[in-house]
A = this chain, B = another copy of it.
Amino acid sequence: MEGLPIYLQNYRCLLTVTIYDIAREAKVGIGTVSRVFNNHPNVKPKTREKILSVAKRLNYHPHAYAQGLARRRTNTIAAIIPFFTNYFFVEILQGIQDKITNLGYDLILYGINHPREIDEYLRKSDQRGRVDGILFFSSKLPESFVERSHVDSKPLILVDAFHERFDSLHVDNFKGAIAATNHLIQLGHTNIGMINANLNNTPARERKDGFADALKAGGIELRPQNIVETNVIKNDGYTREAGYSSMKQLLNLGTDRPTAVFIASDVQAIGALSALRQAGLRAPEDVAIVAYDDIELAAHFGLTTMRQPMYRMGELAVEKLFQRMENPAMPPSHVHFVPTLIVRGSCGMNKNYSLAEEFLQTSD
């Protein structure tokens, strides 16, 4: 406290040290002070030192908003994320955070709990001087927004979503499904089924296409009765219950039933496992399974599944956003990630797994 100049000592309650204060103390102009903090080369080492020491003594910290206003840059980006994409988004957030922290940026998080909030958050992020760029996740960009946006609009990257006019980043469901199915084929299966979600869901359609393609490429017959879709609305059919009844349906095929099944999501797979167990059957012995998503539960259940590079997606989303901020005129780019196969117990390849004790042997 005794380091404070006299004229400030009584003002502790509204203590807010500005460059003027430190300029006066250091007997220099505010320009020089500013230069020091902006690492401008043209400052004599001596004065720089002086200024730094005064700043430290007064415990000076630049005022973020004042800087932002003068620089016309907020050093902040917004992420608009549906909160229910839970599994997904924590890791993506980590990727984002690590990346932007390095770049000296902050993150404003707008979590969507209800669709109506999409517009609101989009409007807020689009407000002048709020953020420098926007990351928009897993939702459909409102048409009203698309319409009023133009080349000079605020940079926006779509993640896990698509629109031709905006940069986007998304996971290739088609290729993911192919990889999953191929794995089953390579394991020697020839009677392969698929449990899908609701076809209203874009990823569900893409996964189905990949499945069909892989079978074709592998010269394996696609039996229509082997594909079970769902008309469940809730969560587009990505639920345990849907998986449970779908597997039952497959089991009803009797001896004709598939010996391997590609399931469109881990949650469904968990339901399916349960149907299996109820029927006195086991995975992978009776039915081999490859699922999709690699949610945390997947490891606990020993599910072989397709994993999406979420952390990396977060990082890349930020990279693309910065590219766009630097070069607004660039044509939109679209990158597709390919999920990777995580082999655990449910496909029958990894002999170290026994599903009975699955969760003890899982170590990731």
* Stretch in contact with the other chain, from A20-28, A44-52, A127-135, A225-233: A127-135
Which residue of chain B lies nearest to A241 when distances are taken between CB atoms in the complex? B360
**Known contacts A16-B128, A66-B129, A83 near B93 by CB under 8 Å:** yes
Which of A94, A130, A274 has the most C-beta atoms of chain B within 10 angstroms of its own C-beta? A130
Which of A69, A83, A244, A357 has the most C-beta atoms of chain B within 10 angstroms of its own C-beta? A69
Which of A12, A66, A90, A244 has the most C-beta atoms of chain B within 10 angstroms of its own C-beta? A90
CB-based contact A94/B65 at 8 Å:
no
Q: Is A113 an interface residue (CB 8 A)?
A: yes
Q: Is A62 an interface residue (CB 8 A)?
A: yes
Which of A14, A59, A93 has the most C-beta atoms of chain B within 10 angstroms of its own C-beta? A93
**Beyond known contacts A16-B128, A64-B129, A277-B357: 12 more, CB 8 A cutoff:** A61-B127, A63-B128, A64-B127, A93-B111, A94-B113, A107-B108, A109-B109, A240-B359, A270-B300, A270-B359, A271-B359, A300-B300
CB-based contact A62/B128 at 8 Å:
yes
CB-based contact B101/A117 at 8 Å:
yes
Q: Is A152 an interface residue (CB 8 A)?
A: yes
User: Could you list 24 A-B pairs, sorted by A, with CB under 8 Å?
Assistant: A14-B152, A15-B152, A16-B128, A61-B126, A62-B128, A63-B69, A64-B129, A65-B129, A65-B130, A94-B111, A98-B113, A101-B117, A107-B109, A107-B110, A109-B109, A240-B360, A241-B360, A244-B360, A270-B300, A271-B360, A274-B360, A277-B356, A296-B296, A296-B297
